[in-house]
């Protein structure tokens, strides 16, 4: 789950409201100076300034925050006001505005006389709340998140109850001393847990009032003004601390399977033929599938037995559109995702993460990165290479080709006139080309100019409605589809002609239906259509977030957006029936997103067996790893997922992962979810160790 205080994919907005109850507004702020102060922080993305955070204290204990940045044609404009008590806990919080994707935000909270009262666009509450309990807004700034850490540092045991339920705690992870003209500035890294399924990390000054100093991640840094050049140092130390934490989890959760392992009496999916087979006994040795035999066969001295009765064994799943981070590896593994294609990342950070996972230092799937190339503009997404000329684009192709990449991703600001020469240049070097359709270009033109793959169903649908002057580097690439897709005649010449072109060219489509389902269907206060069914398993703060819409759905547009999404779903089914190769990608919540993606493919009319083939065989085929992954065959890597039930009959059984194997290592999803603060879905499959008969 992406965190909702300055998270990479989190909608943000202007937050503004006075204290709801005057008596609760000012009770003192021991962590803040009583003098009026202002602190400015710079937001950078890939070493380029993208925005700012400004924090002001009025001298009477009230804090106001302005937070704004832009990346990829979107970004938040956030305003907050809050006051805290003697323990630094919020007693009044207020805000309103627009999120990254245009949805309105309006939320306030006040504590008085032992009761906490809050209202938002998704919920409201009025309940007894003990003094010092911590309130967390659905949307918030990193400055507010740091305030929660500062409050916890004043508590015995550094823990405190949450207004919504559960407990928060904080752990000190690292320290640094940063150089400045005024001398060394000590800072400390803290991990806040209990809010989300992954920790939130904050850097505070390690002196005085423990003021907020920075919030960094591989994709974005918010750092105190004057220290921007040291963001990389903060990130390196933070990633080291995260690695140390995750390495401990890896040691606790990963179970090596030495010797011979037999999965006994199991139904299994033959992805090459898209049929279920068995029951069979499937043997594993040295991280590979060593034999597939009739159930009940005699096995010579197995070291482990796994009972497969009533379960289904699948090849490890592929998420072909997952933006990977250190924290997401466990989510992917618990869901049965053993391979991820990352279509947009920072090249050095992606390689570092992949190396740590491959070395067994961190838990996570096998990662294959794509070579990201974007054109320079005010709307640029700042990953990979951002280029301002055709020669620079070709130079980026050379860089990726020399490092063994097999595919490029071109993006929104890439100039249309560069597509054909770059595609020809890349093809000559053996690289496939795809991605977003550049602005001021139609998908049909991109395919004819050399695109081997299109990412996202909205990029497909824009082909039928975008006009030459439409700038799809903006949120128009979402709203235009929501407004117009319902008009598409699926049997008309445009829709059918494009299907023929895709089939004739062998163009692959990475559909990512789940990435758009909430955006076009969910209104504030309604369960998230993609993940609402998971809510009762999640931390309380995540349950609230699942009621929050990412885009503005209202009485005026709700019907047409719903009808437009139904056309996207239907056109996905038509692509399958027309023979267009499809991939199972998500671009959303790691692990859980792929489960929903497969459900949506079945809703689109794709048979469950073929849906499973897309998530296994097709993934291996288009990552060029079919010789070692993607199917259950002798000699292939033992990347496998054991699920309760039969997803070829009920695709939703894909969520019931009871055991996941990546090579010679097993993970029990129930144990992984418990470590993440998530209530498990099914018990773990037992691994029975047998005594060795060797003398």
588-647: pLDDT as tens digits: 999 999 999 999 999 999 999 999 999 999 999 999 999 999 999 999 999 999 999 999
- The model's confidence at residue 693, banded by pLDDT at 50, 70 and 90, is low
Evaluate whether 63 touches 87 at the Cβ level (below 8 Å).
no
For the cut 50, the answer to whether the pLDDT of residue 264 exceeds it is yes
**In the chain, how long is the greatest CA-to-CA distance?**
80
| Cα–Cα distance list, 144 to 55, 150, 190, 340, 629 (Å) | 10, 10, 14, 33, 45
Q: What are phi and psi of 140, to 5 degrees?
A: -165, 165
Distances (CA, A) of 478 to 483, 520, 601, 612: 9, 9, 20, 28
Q: What is the pLDDT of residues 304-356, one digit of tens each?
A: 999 999 999 999 999 999 999 999 999 999 999 999 999 988 898 899 999 99
| Residue where the block lists tokens 């076009």 | 520
- pLDDT reading at 510 higher than 60: yes
Query: With 90 as the cut, is the pLDDT of residue 408 above it?
Result: yes
pLDDT at residue 95, as a whole number: 83
For residues 593 and 585, what is the distance between their CA atoms, to the nearest angstrom? Answer: 8
pLDDT at 28: 33
pLDDT (tens digit, 9 = 90+) per residue, 369-384?
A: 999 999 999 999 888 9
pLDDT at 41: 97
Amino acid 32: pLDDT: 41
pLDDT in tens, 218-246: 889 999 999 999 999 999 999 999 999 99
Mean per-residue pLDDT for 648-676? Answer: 97
Mean pLDDT of the chain: 91
Of the listed ranges 85-99, 607-621, 664-678, the one predicted with least confidence: 85-99
Q: Which two tokens stand for residue 463?
A: 């082909």
Query: So what's the pLDDT on residue 469?
Result: 95
Report the run of H or E that residue 620 belongs to, with start and end: helix 619-622
Look at residue 103 in the predicted model and tell me its pLDDT.
74
Distance CA 326, CA 240 (A): 11
b vs e for 433-445, b when ≥16 Cβ sit within 10 Å of the residue's Cβ? bbbbbbbbbbbbb
Please compute the mean of the pLDDT values over residues 286-290 and round it to a whole number: 98
Q: State the pLDDT at residue 23.
A: 27
d(CA 525, CA 103): 13
Q: How many CA atoms lie within 13 A of 271 on its CB side?
A: 25
**For residue 567, what are the contacts with CB-CB under 8 A and spacing of at least 6?**
461, 485, 486, 488, 490
Burial class (CB in 10 A: 0-12, 13-18, 19+), 671: middle
Q: Is the pLDDT of residue 483 over 60?
A: yes
pLDDT over threshold 70, residue 7: no
pLDDT at 97: 75
* Separate counts of helices (H) and strands (E) for the chain: 17, 34
**235 Cβ contact partners less than 8 Å away, ≥ 6 residues apart:** 216, 217, 218, 221
| pTM greater than 0.95 | no
Average pLDDT for 471-497: 96
**32 or 438, higher pLDDT:** 438
Q: Above 80 in pLDDT, residue 428? A: yes
pLDDT of residue 29 exceeding 70: no
558-577 vs 476-484: helix crossing angle, rounded to 10: 90
Percent of the chain with pLDDT over 70: 94
Give the closest residue to 128 by CA, choosing from 111, 145, 152.
111
DSSP secondary structure letters along 17-78: ---SSGGGS-S--TTS-SS-EEEEEEEEETTEEEEEEEEEE-SSSEEEEEEEE-BTTB--EE
* Beta strands at 337-342 and 304-307: parallel, antiparallel or unpaired: unpaired
CA–CA separation, 368 vs 351, rounded Å?
9
- How many angstroms separate the CA atoms of 617 and 153, rounded? 50
User: Residue 166 pLDDT > 60, yes or no?
Assistant: yes
What is the rounded distance in angstroms from the CA atom of residue 139 to the CA atom of residue 527?
A: 17
Q: What is the pLDDT of residue 122?
A: 87
pLDDT bucket at 70, cuts 50 / 70 / 90: confident
Tens digits of residue pLDDT in 179-221: 988 889 999 999 999 888 899 999 999 998 899 999 999 889 9
Average pLDDT over residues 436-448: 98
pLDDT at 8 over 60: no
Residue 694 — pLDDT band, cuts 50, 70, 90?
low
pLDDT at 2: 32
pLDDT confidence of residue 5: 39
Query: How high is the pLDDT of residue 35?
Result: 62
Among 2, 423, 345, 55, CA closest to 214: 55
pLDDT value at residue 605: 98
Exposure of 343 in the CB half-sphere (CA atoms within 13 A): 26
pLDDT for position 16: 24
């Amino acid at each position: 789950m992406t965190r909702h205080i300055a998270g990479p994919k989190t909608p943000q907005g202007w937050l503004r409201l006075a204290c709801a109850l005057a008596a609760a507004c000012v009770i003192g702020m021991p962590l803040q100076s009583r003098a009026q102060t202002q602190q400015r922080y710079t937001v950078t993305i890939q070493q380029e300034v993208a925005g700012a955070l400004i924090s002001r204290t009025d001298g009477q204990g009230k804090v106001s925050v302005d937070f704004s940045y832009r990346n990829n044609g979107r970004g938040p404009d956030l305003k907050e006001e809050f006051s805290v008590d003697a323990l630094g806990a919020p007693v009044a919080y207020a805000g309103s505005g627009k999120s990254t994707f245009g949805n309105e935000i309006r939320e306030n909270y006040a504590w008085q006389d032992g009761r906490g009262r809050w209202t938002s666009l998704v919920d409201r509450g009025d309940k007894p709340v003990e003094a010092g309990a911590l309130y967390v807004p659905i949307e918030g700034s990193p400055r507010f998140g740091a305030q929660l850490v500062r409050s916890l540092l004043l508590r015995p045991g550094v823990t405190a109850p949450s207004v919504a339920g559960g407990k928060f705690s904080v752990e000190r992870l690292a320290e640094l001393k940063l150089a400045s003209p005024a001398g060394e500035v000590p800072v400390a890294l803290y991990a806040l847990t209990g809010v989300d399924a992954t920790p939130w990390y904050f850097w505070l000054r390690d002196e005085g009032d423990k003021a907020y100093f920075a919030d960094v991640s591989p994709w974005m840094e918010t750092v105190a003004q004057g220290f921007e050049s040291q963001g990389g140092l903060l990130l390196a130390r933070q990633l080291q601390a995260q690695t140390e934490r995750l390495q401990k989890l890896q040691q606790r959760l990963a179970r090596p399977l030495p010797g011979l392992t037999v999965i006994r009496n199991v139904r299994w999916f033959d992805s090459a033929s898209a049929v279920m087979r068995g029951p069979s006994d499937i043997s594993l040795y040295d991280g590979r599938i060593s034999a597939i035999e009739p159930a009940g066969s005699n096995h010579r001295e197995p070291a482990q037995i796994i009972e497969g009765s009533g379960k289904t064994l699948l090849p490890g799943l592929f998420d072909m559109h997952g933006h990977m981070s250190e924290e997401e590896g466990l989510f992917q593994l618990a869901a049965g995702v053993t391979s991820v294609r990352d279509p947009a990342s920072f090249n050095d950070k992606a390689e570092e993460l992949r190396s740590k996972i491959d070395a067994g230092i961190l838990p996570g799937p096998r990662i294959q990165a794509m070579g990201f190339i974007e054109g320079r503009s005010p709307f640029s997404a700042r990953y990979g290479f951002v280029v301002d000329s055709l020669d620079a684009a070709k130079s980026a192709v050379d860089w990726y080709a020399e490092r063994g990449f097999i595919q490029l991703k071109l993006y929104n600001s890439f100039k249309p006139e560069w597509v054909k020469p770059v595609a020809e240049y890349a093809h000559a070097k053996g690289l496939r080309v795809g991605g977003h359709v550049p602005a001021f270009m139609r998908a049909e033109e991109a395919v004819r100019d050399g695109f081997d793959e299109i990412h996202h169903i909205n990029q497909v649908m824009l082909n039928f409605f975008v006009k030459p002057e439409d700038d799809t580097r903006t949120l128009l690439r979402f709203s235009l589809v929501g407004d117009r897709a319902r008009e598409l005649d699926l049997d008309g010449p445009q829709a059918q002609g494009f299907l023929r072109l895709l089939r004739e060219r062998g163009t692959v489509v990475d559909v990512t239906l789940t990435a758009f389902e909430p955006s076009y269907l969910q209104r504030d206060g309604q369960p998230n259509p993609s993940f609402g069914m998971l809510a009762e398993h999640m931390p309380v703060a995540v349950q609230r977030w699942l009621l929050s819409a990412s885009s503005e759905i209202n009485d005026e547009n709700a019907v047409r957006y719903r009808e437009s999404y139904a056309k996207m779903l239907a056109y996905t089914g038509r692509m399958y029936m027309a023979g267009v190769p499809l991939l199972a990608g998500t671009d959303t919540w790691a692990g859980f997103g792929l489960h929903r993606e497969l459900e949506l493919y079945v809703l689109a009319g794709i048979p469950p067996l073929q849906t499973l083939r897309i998530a296994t065989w097709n993934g291996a085929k288009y990552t060029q790893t079919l010789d070692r992954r993607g199917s259950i065959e002798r000699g292939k890597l033992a990347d496998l997922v054991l699920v309760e039930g039969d997803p070829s009959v009920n695709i939703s059984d894909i969520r019931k992962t009871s055991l996941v194997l990546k090579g010679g290592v097993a993970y029990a999803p129930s144990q992984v979810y418990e470590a993440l603060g998530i209530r498990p879905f099914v018990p773990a499959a037992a691994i029975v160790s047998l005594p060795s008969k060797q003398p």
